[in-house]
Amino acid sequence: MGTTQMKQVFGMPEAMKAEGRFYCPGCGHGIVHRLVSELVDEFGVRERTVGIAPVGCSVFADLYWNFDVVSAAHGRAPAVATGITRANPNVVCVSYQGDGDLAAIGTAETIHAANRGESFVTVFVNNAIYGMTGGQMAPTTLIGQKSTTCQLGRDPAIMGYPIRVCELLQTLGGVAFLARGVVDSPKNVLTVKKYLKKAFQYAIDKKGYTLVEIVSPCPTNWGMTPPEAMDWLQNNMLDYFKPGVYRDIGEEATVEVEPGN
């Protein structure tokens, strides 16, 4: 029998570290981290990419990503990304943010970076809860959903309503691409990757602000097993946070702002 020629069909992206493994079972962050790493490789920009790790579970993104990382103050990632890409437009910047970071403490930074048409990729992981601090109510926590700071369930009369970020940002002039995906199946993961790819392309081409929202499970803080969490996500979150493309200015168009120099 002759030697079999083995061809590698799947492996670790160069932009991903082999040792990074610490998210809870069933968490979506690991999938999204990997998608970002794959795209960094596919665009061939690993050495000029800067990832921003926010405050929250993904503050440890540097343990996964094999490219430069800076950890920003809570909510300030869009301002830090603005500083990075304006000061050095050659840098490809990925601002990775959770729901508390992006839609609560960092709402102002998010809206204004979007409005200025800053050219970085925003990866927005929406799991409807604060993870690292122990399951508190997030700006995206659903009505009736329980958390450690709304133990009887979110009551909109007291706590307001869950914020739909894509819909909120849709009207802003500086936005080039907005989409919402979900990491609940291989097919949908590939769709998320397609969205992220477009966001990377637009950011590299300085077309304006890009954001991909990813609806993602947090079994630990939802108090569920991973399969239960996936069911709950599909049966509850997707009705309120509807997947799809919310804005795409098209590859020819450029938003009408000067994205740096």
Partner 1 sequence: MSEKIPIGEKVLMKGNEAIGEAAVQAGCRAFFGYPITPQNELTAYMSKRMLEEGRVFIQSESEIAAINMCFGAATVGERSMTSSSSPGISLKQEGISYMASAELPVFYVNVNRGGPGLGNISPAQSDYFQATRGGGHGDYRVIAFGPSDVQELYDFTMLGFDLADKYRNPAMILADGILGQMMEPLVLKPYEPIPDLPSKQPWRLGDPSTPDALLITSLILNPGGMEERNFMLQKKYETIIENETRYEEVMTDDADVVIVAYGTASRIARSVMETAREEGIKVGLFRPITIWPYPYDPLNKLADRVKNMLVVEMSLGQMWEDVRLAVEGKARVHLHARTAGGVPVQTEIIRDLKKVLASKDGEIVRNF
Name residue 160's amino acid: G
CA distances from residue 37 to 16, 26, 57, 159 in whole angstroms, order as listed: 6, 19, 18, 37
| Least distance (Å) between residue 193 CB and partner 1 | 22
**Binding residue for partner 1, selected from 35, 36, 57, 72, defined by CB under 8 A:** 72
Give the C-alpha separation, 174 to 160, whole Å: 27
Q: Which of residues 49-68 bind partner 1 (CB under 8 A)?
A: 49-50, 53, 59, 62, 65-68
Stretch that binds partner 1, among 1-9, 91-99, 185-193, 201-209 (CB under 8 A): 91-99
| Least distance (Å) between residue 80 CB and partner 1 | 4
Interface with partner 1, residue 177, by CB under 8 A: no
CA distances from residue 225 to 28, 73, 135, 185 in whole angstroms, order as listed: 13, 31, 15, 17
Interface with partner 1, residue 153, by CB under 8 A: no
Nearer to partner 1, 19 or 252 (CB): 19
CA-nearest of 177, 200, 195 to 255 is 177
Interface with partner 1, residue 73, by CB under 8 A: yes
Q: Which of residues 188-227 bind partner 1 (CB under 8 A)?
A: none
CA-nearest of 107, 32, 34 to 77 is 107
SS3 letters for 76-126?
CHHHHHHHHHHHCCCCEEEEEEEHHHHHHHCHHHHHHHHHHCCCCEEEEEE
Interface with partner 1, residue 39, by CB under 8 A: no
Q: Which of residues 4-23 bind partner 1 (CB under 8 A)?
A: 17
Interface with partner 1, residue 93, by CB under 8 A: yes
| Least distance (Å) between residue 124 CB and partner 1 | 18
| Least distance (Å) between residue 82 CB and partner 1 | 5
Nearer to partner 1, 69 or 103 (CB): 69
Name residue 25's amino acid: P
Number of alpha carbons in the 13 Å side-chain half-sphere of residue 96: 28
What pairing do the DSSP bridges indicate for beta strands 244-248 and 175-182? antiparallel
Interface with partner 1, residue 168, by CB under 8 A: no
Interface with partner 1, residue 150, by CB under 8 A: no
Cβ-based neighbour number of residue 71 at 10 Å? 16
Q: How many residues does the chain have?
A: 261
**Binding residue for partner 1, selected from 82, 119, 147, 220, defined by CB under 8 A:** 82
| Least distance (Å) between residue 111 CB and partner 1 | 8
Residues that bind partner 1 (CB under 8 A): 17, 46-50, 53, 59, 62, 65-73, 76, 79-88, 90-93, 108-109, 111-112, 116, 260-261
